[in-house]
A and B are shown apart, each in its own frame.
Chain A
Amino acid sequence: MSTAEIATETLDIGLFGGFRQFVPEGRIEIDANGLTTITDLRARVEQAFADNPNALMLLKASAFATDRRVLDDESEALPRGEALSVLPPVCGG
């Protein structure tokens, strides 16, 4: 494969709650190349919000999740083929 043919892998990350004030559409696309763990993913999403201190503060208090579960252990491998989301602190009811 030539350099021109190398595909860039991207991840579509869902954003909810307070993130909608920064990203009204509720989704960001990030470069997934080199990501192996949730910790890596967090660092990559931090880069995406590097110019927004309020979003970074909210991200610090947020968890990552698939559609099935919250990813408590951020050292775990990045789930492949599953939808991923950033969940800020919750307040139902």
Chain B
Amino acid sequence: MRMDNLQLAVTEAILDGAAALEFCNAPGHGAAALFIGRVRDINQGRSVRAVSYDLHDVLCRNVFEEIAREALAEWGEDTRLYLAHRRGRLAVGEASVVAAASSRHRDESFKACRYLVEQMKHRAPIWKQEHYVDGDSEWVKGHALCGHG
């Protein structure tokens, strides 16, 4: 999904922070913030070899757009925003998510970029299954989207 100042994606392709910064760029923008989330080698004391990401593609894109429009309303309609998340199995060190924001001044960029990441983690229909070095695999417990969870 790409609009004038939003680029939002779920993809199996390798994520590229440079592409996010290239998109989050405008003559009047003196600041850009970039976040890259990567697969970590240890989680809760267990050695991780890889993580598989499962996504509800259509709803995920809709939630990304909802979050991005909230950010625009908060930090200005001329803010440029980029949010992309991987699908499939990723090895340790691979980027699972890239978020970026650009704006006239740094405060808006930092806040908008962080908003994209935090809201994505709490609201986007994305799940991860960790694959451990010992051969075991486990779905990671997350944030319930319903009130009775």
Contact = CB atoms under 8 A, between A and B. Distances in A.
A binds B: yes
Contact of B139 (A18, A65, A83): A18
Interface of B: 37, 53-56, 58-59, 62, 85, 96-97, 117, 120-129, 139-149
A91 to B, nearest CB: 3
Contacts of A74: 146
Interface string A13-32: 01011101100000000000
A49 B97 CA distance: 33
B19 to A, nearest CB: 19
Interface string A78-93: 0000010101111111
Contacts of A72: 146-147
B121 A93 contact: yes
Interface residues of A, number: 27
B148 A16 contact: no
A72 B55 CA distance: 19
Given A20-B54, A60-B148, A83-B58, 19 more contacts: A17-B127, A61-B146, A62-B146, A63-B146, A63-B149, A65-B125, A65-B145, A67-B62, A68-B62, A70-B146, A90-B125, A91-B127, A91-B128, A91-B143, A92-B53, A92-B121, A92-B127, A92-B128, A93-B120
